[in-house]
Structure 1
Amino acid sequence: TLARIKALFQKISDNGLDNVSEVDFKSCGDVHRDLDLLKMKVIELQTQLYDLDEDYQPLHTKLHEIDGIEKDLEKYQDHYRLSMSQLRRVHTRINQVWQEHKFQHDSARTALQTTELQCAVIKAKICDQSAHLSTKMDDIRHHMIRAKEEESGATTSYLAHISNWYKAQSASASSQKSTREIEWEEELAVCDRLLLGLNDFSKGLKAMRKEQRKRVTHSEQVMEQLNTQKSDIEQKINSLETEAIAKLDAVRQRFILPTPKSSSMLINIPRIFGLLSFFFFPPSKKKKKTGQQR
């Protein structure tokens, strides 16, 4: 309309009313008067356009801000999805490794408990057998001393005979031993070997228990480290979600919830809400297709 009136004003100003039809313009009969009226009309329309521009300038500014925040949200959405995906993958992997070590820990602890019960029984038997062998060896030595006493007719004390017996062992080459003495010595040697074997077996049981305890302790340490790592990942996930919620809430407070001043202007802003909800409620393929068509 403004352009048409400007063109009409220029046409009348250049050529008068000769080439102007009554359909386009109804003259008052005075060309100068007509030009003044057209000029006033042009000024009026320009003033209205200026007022409209002033009225809608905040809306243009707000729409520009919305475009900016929409691009920023799209970038943040990509960052959020990538970071959350990586954190959840790490969290899942830590859970898997933790379950594996938990199984190993339970198995090692069960084996340790079983071994300790068996070792207690075996150790008791070893102690009984060792005591029996020690008693038997003392009896053999006593018999050997008694035999020596009977041969020599000596009446020395039992303790003195034990001391003399050990001395006689080093000087056995000087005297000829009887068959019974040889059997006793062989039996003593067998008992010594049995005692040595029992002691070695007891040491082996102790080393085995120590190794199993070491495995249990190691599994517990690894599980504790994994729990710490899992807690750190969960804290990062919570921080990322809290940050995203705070960002979305700030955008919601600024652009979605209308104020009395802006409620008449923010007409197309609800489209931002769809973008915000896209963070936690991704659209289906059908919705994506609809968005592309639109």
Structure 2
Amino acid sequence: AMSQEQQQLVSVIRGVHEKLRFDYQSTGDEERVWEGHCRDAELRKRYADSMLRLATTIWPFRDRIEWCHQTLRNYFYEGGLKRALRSLPSFDQNAESAMEHALRLLQLPPGGKVRLLDVGSCYDPFRCYEDIEAVAVDLTPAREGVLECDFLKLRVTDPSGGRWSPYVLTDPLVELPAASFQAVVLCMVLEYLPSCFQRWTFCRKAAALLRPYGLLLVVTPDSKHQQRNVAMVASWREALGNLGLPKLRYEKRQHLHCMAFYRCGPVRELCEGEEVAEARKMYIPQDSRDYVALFSRVGVEERDEAADVALGEGFSELPDCVDL
């Protein structure tokens, strides 16, 4: 069973997600909802502190971060990139020259560190890896060293001269040059956003910030068994594929979907109609819950028992994100 502290932390996180979804369903105005949330510094601070406490002391600390690191190592240093190149329809039989070309575009020096942008980082968990140069950003940093950044509003600028400079890292961070990173991580962050279009915006920006052949790692919670949300995973995969990011790897952990995509070729420019159609594919199961009805019940009926049991069991494992 969950300890009392766990229950309190979970209810803070879940409460923030549900309030955002309720506000969005009530108004249909995602920008206004987000601006209101950004103004509520106290609520965001409470959320960030709860997330930090849960993520570092209660959830099996390394699971999702280890998965990202291991996938990254495999791709950049253990032949994963070469295998990915071979699977491309446009693959030239001369594997070595294709590989050299990809490495040149990636700008990853032999034995160099992978420059990684960790979006919605909270506490910069990647800083402890020797082979990663992490840039951690969060709307509400919970630790020093994490840059404050509203990623929805972040401007992606033309890369000047094409060489990376740490001088672009201001705090708060309001802009970054395109194609600056060999890897971008969206871990436990997309479900925080109340609308499909906002999740799509995160993915689009992540794609624009990746170097060619760079890696996008997406981790999202799921308390259900493997088959339950298989349609959602397929839908995300299709949207990202249409952006120019084919799937590299997918794994369902007990309470997580772990996905890796790589950027092959330029990020596709889409017309407005296509943009809307792709954004709709970035749904989460909670989008179909009626939060307005849920919140209007007198005193919000207590969650049904099964949900609470699932919640408790999940947290002893990982964020059953309790359908966070």
Q: TM-score, normalised by structure 2?
A: 0.17
Larger Rg: 1
Q: By percentage of residues, which structure has more strand?
A: 2
Q: TM-score, normalised by structure 1?
A: 0.19
Q: By percentage of residues, which structure has more helix?
A: 1
Higher relative contact order (CA 8 A, sep 6+): 1
